[in-house]
């Protein structure tokens, strides 16, 4: 990570988890940007609070790195919108890797990727920009994970899995090797994926029932 002060966007649980990782790594956090702090605990104590996204513009893009502390949930586009807005304005986003994560020297980790506690990213894997690899997730060899994805806690990808952009893989899901998951898809909690999934799909249940997003009533 470039040795610049950090500005965290977001005041919820994901932002707090990132802040704790960074503070343990002795990184300098110059502020948190959020309308209010809703995270439990006092991890943000002593860090200046800025209430509006436009306050980020007070910082020269050459002087800080941004940390995208907005969580990622299905049908919620704020995280991606924040990333795209400030990238266009010339800001860079810090890549955050927890000390407890195991990340191969032979993997490729993109801009703004967040690899949380106890994750594994094996050799030959590539994780694209602004993706979250959340707590205790496992990515095996030669997987390719697209941009703006979220692998929720405890998800497991076997080798040579391709995950296209904007995919949400929920907690406890398992994906066998040589599977492709199409863009904008949602893999539900505990689903077992044994065949490739088309783009714009919702998959749910341990036996992986596939449903098109256009027919989703939620």
- Catalytic residue list contains 141: yes
Does 112 show up as a binding residue in the annotation? no
Q: Which residues contact 29 (CB under 8 A, 6 or more apart)?
A: 5, 6, 7, 8, 19, 22, 23, 47
DSSP classification of residue 215 = G
The span from the CA of 144 to the CA of 105, in Å, is 15
Length of the chain: 218
- Among candidate residues 88, 40, 22, the one with its CA nearest the CA of residue 31: 22
Q: Which of 38, 87, 80, 49 is nearest to 65 (CA)?
A: 87
Catalytic-role residue among 14, 141, 148, 168 = 141
> Comparing C-alpha atoms, which of 136, 139, 201 is closest to residue 171?
136
Residue 10 marked ligand-binding: no
Cite the annotated binding site for acetyl-CoA by residue number.
150
Cite the annotated binding site by residue number.
71, 150
Cite the annotated binding site for substrate by residue number.
71
Q: Which residues participate in catalysis according to the annotation?
A: 141
């Amino acid at each position: 990570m470039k040795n610049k002060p950090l500005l965290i966007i977001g005041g919820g649980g994901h932002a707090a988890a990132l802040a704790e990782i960074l503070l343990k790594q002795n990184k300098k956090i110059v502020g948190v940007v959020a309308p209010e702090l809703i995270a439990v605990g006092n991890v943000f104590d002593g860090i200046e609070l800025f209430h509006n996204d436009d306050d980020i513009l007070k910082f020269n893009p050459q002087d800080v790195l941004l940390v995208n502390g907005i969580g990622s949930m299905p049908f919620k586009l704020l995280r991606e919108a924040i990333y795209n807005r400030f990238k266009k304005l010339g800001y860079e986003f810090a890549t955050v890797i927890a000390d407890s994560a195991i990340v191969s020297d032979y993997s490729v980790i993109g801009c703004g990727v967040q690899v949380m506690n106890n994750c594994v990213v094996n050799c030959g894997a590539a994780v694209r920009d602004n993706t979250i690899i959340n707590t205790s997730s496992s990515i095996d060899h030669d997987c390719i994970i697209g941009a703006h994805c979220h692998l929720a806690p405890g998800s497991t990808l076997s080798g040579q899995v391709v995950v296209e952009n904007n995919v949400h893989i929920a907690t406890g899901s398992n994906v066998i090797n040589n599977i492709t998951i199409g863009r904008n898809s949602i893999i539900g909690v505990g689903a077992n994926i044994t065949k490739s999934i088309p783009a714009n799909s919702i998959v749910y249940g341990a036996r992986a029932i596939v449903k098109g997003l256009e027919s989703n009533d939620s």
